Amino acid sequence: MPPVHYASNDGVEIAYQVLGDGPRDLLWIQGAFSHLGLFWERADFRRFSEELASFSRLIMFDRRGMGLSERTRAGTLEERIEDARAVLDAAGSERASLLGISEGGPMSILFAASYPERLESLLLCGAEVKEESTEDWPWGECTRAEFDEAMARVPQTWGKGLGAPIFFPDDPHPESTKEWLGRLQTAAMTPGDAIAVMSVAFEIDVRDVIPAVHVPTLVVHRTDDPMVHVESGRHLARHIEGAKYVELPGKLHIPWVGGGDDILEEIREFLTGVRESPAPDRALATVLFTDIVGSTERATEVGDRRWRELLDAHNAAIRRQLERFRGRELDTADDGFLAAFDGPARAIRCALAAIDAASGLGLDIRAGVHTGECEIAGDKLAGIAVHIGARVAGQARPREVLVSRTVHDLVAGSGIELEDRGRAALKGVPGEWRLYAVERSLSAGS
């Protein structure tokens, strides 16, 4: 996670981060709520941010009243714009491009109309125009009566991550993602603050401001965006002079969820004139995924404090096994690990040892192993092989290690016994994949 800095606007402290040293500054204005600490726990957020920072100096901040910024009242749209300008000043940016996401769209639009001299360009992804559905704007999120009903439920639902299926559809680890979203909500702001922030957003209507934007603009919107109707993107493109409009397929609202490669391509091309990043280095690697089975139910059963103690003990136990079998930790969620190994046999033995270690703590974990060609970016691995490994793990039963056909072929003669589990469809991966379960008679140390 990049260091956190603070800018001051009329005595209000605004937390911000800077990543990368590219030739252009890019100020990212997030959606409804944010937390510059917890966001970095998400691998897809990190990857999206690092890709942006590969061709820009990326500047991110938490708005006043939320995240790591000073907890104060939500603030008006004008005050939030002044906060953004204060962040640019503190970061030493004279001119920047502005990336507005979702609810950050109206704020970005007003900034572009008010301070065109500070902007090189405006980029809007899934950006709102007006939240309230009315006769003259039927594409809002809801009517006023529906909004009032939703706000009445916030004190009981805030912090439970109930929106995870909408924001993270087809997530391979829905339980841990729901838990993470709940933690993000409670860390970002209190239920009362959330109501205040969302109430301010609900009153915003920037239709009259949009024609006053006169900077180069890119509008990107997904056809089936479940939160902001695609007509919002089309309206922006029609009413911002010279705007480039790109309509992408899909139902993801948050651009970084799942990696956001198609959106990254559009942003990179718009800012640099080059659509694709340089081809990454590639190498064959074995990836191991582990996660705790039934983590949400267990956390509810034992309570937050005991669950955090169990997670700490679990993480320490898994790391001991990774060190023992010379695995390299690549990523860690609260209830799972991604690690790389030089060979699949060592990864399988590590997985078995990890399952036994977790069992000693009263936790059941499952694991998946796959070997394939991966993209190498610094000390990280990416690419389809990593996705396949995650999907293989998602098919495993409690206390089971599943491996792909590739791993099956590579461990021949190693003494590792595998049971054919037949073919399975792996979500997001073409075709069917034959999977094999590791026989539990194998000793982890053999």
- pLDDT at position 295: 86
Residue 375, SS3 per DSSP: strand
Residue type, 6: Y
Per-residue pLDDT band at 280 (split at 50, 70, 90): low
Smallest CA-to-CA distance from 41 within 242, 184, 221 is with: 184
Q: Answer whether residue 412 is part of any domain.
A: yes
Final residue of a structural domain among 244, 272, 300 = 272
Whether residue 265 is found in the same domain as residue 290: no
Whether residue 203 is found in the same domain as residue 178: yes
- For the chain, the residue count is 446
- pLDDT at position 334: 67
Whether residue 180 is found in the same domain as residue 310: no
- pLDDT at position 380: 75
Q: Answer whether residue 446 is part of any domain.
A: no
Q: How far apart are CA 436 and CA 28, in angstroms?
A: 44
Q: What are the structure tokens assigned to 98, written together?
A: 């502005």
Whether residue 186 is found in the same domain as residue 141: yes
Report the CATH number that the domain containing residue 432 is assigned in CATH.
3.30.70.1230
User: Could you give the maximum distance between any two Cα atoms of the chain, in Å?
Assistant: 71
Question: 303 vs 431, which has greater pLDDT?
Answer: 303
Whether residue 160 is found in the same domain as residue 59: yes
Neighbouring-strand partners of residue 341: 286
Q: How many angstroms from the chain centroid is the CA of residue 147? A: 26
Q: Answer whether residue 302 is part of any domain.
A: yes
Tell me 34's DSSP state. Answer: -
Percent of the chain whose predicted confidence (pLDDT) is above 70: 96
Q: Answer whether residue 445 is part of any domain.
A: no
Whether residue 293 is found in the same domain as residue 212: no
Whether residue 249 is found in the same domain as residue 325: no
Per-residue pLDDT band at 446 (split at 50, 70, 90): very low
Cβ atoms < 10 Å from Cβ of 274: 11
Mark residue 64 as left, alpha or beta (left: phi above 0; alpha: psi -120 to 50; beta: remaining).
beta
- Domain extent, residue 241, equals 5-272
Whether residue 200 is found in the same domain as residue 310: no
Q: What is the pLDDT of residues 25-36, one digit of tens each?
A: 999 999 888 999
Residue type, 337: F
Whether residue 316 is found in the same domain as residue 375: yes
Q: What is the pLDDT of residues 383-425, one digit of tens each?
A: 888 888 889 998 999 999 999 999 998 888 788 899 998 988 8
Domain count, the chain: 2
Final residue of a structural domain among 272, 298, 330 = 272
Output Rg (C-alpha) for the chain, integer angstroms: 23
Report the CATH number that the domain containing residue 230 is assigned in CATH.
3.40.50.1820
CA dihedral sign, ordered 267, 270, 272, 275 = positive
Whether residue 285 is found in the same domain as residue 261: no
CA end-to-end distance (rounded Å), the chain = 38
Whether residue 44 is found in the same domain as residue 191: yes
Task: Give ∠ CA 71-67-292 in degrees, rounded to 5.
Answer: 140
Whether residue 312 is found in the same domain as residue 180: no
Q: Answer whether residue 443 is part of any domain.
A: no
Q: Answer whether residue 17 is part of any domain.
A: yes
CA neighbours closer than 13 Å in the CB half-sphere of residue 427: 11
Could you tell me the pTM of the whole model? 0.66
Q: Answer whether residue 444 is part of any domain.
A: no
Q: What is the pLDDT of residues 299-333, one digit of tens each?
A: 888 888 898 898 889 999 999 999 999 898 988 87
Mean pLDDT, rounded, for 94-109: 93
Final residue of a structural domain among 240, 272, 304 = 272
Q: How far apart are CA 298 and CA 156, in angstroms?
A: 21
Q: Answer whether residue 39 is part of any domain.
A: yes
CA dihedral sign, ordered 93, 98, 103, 105 = positive
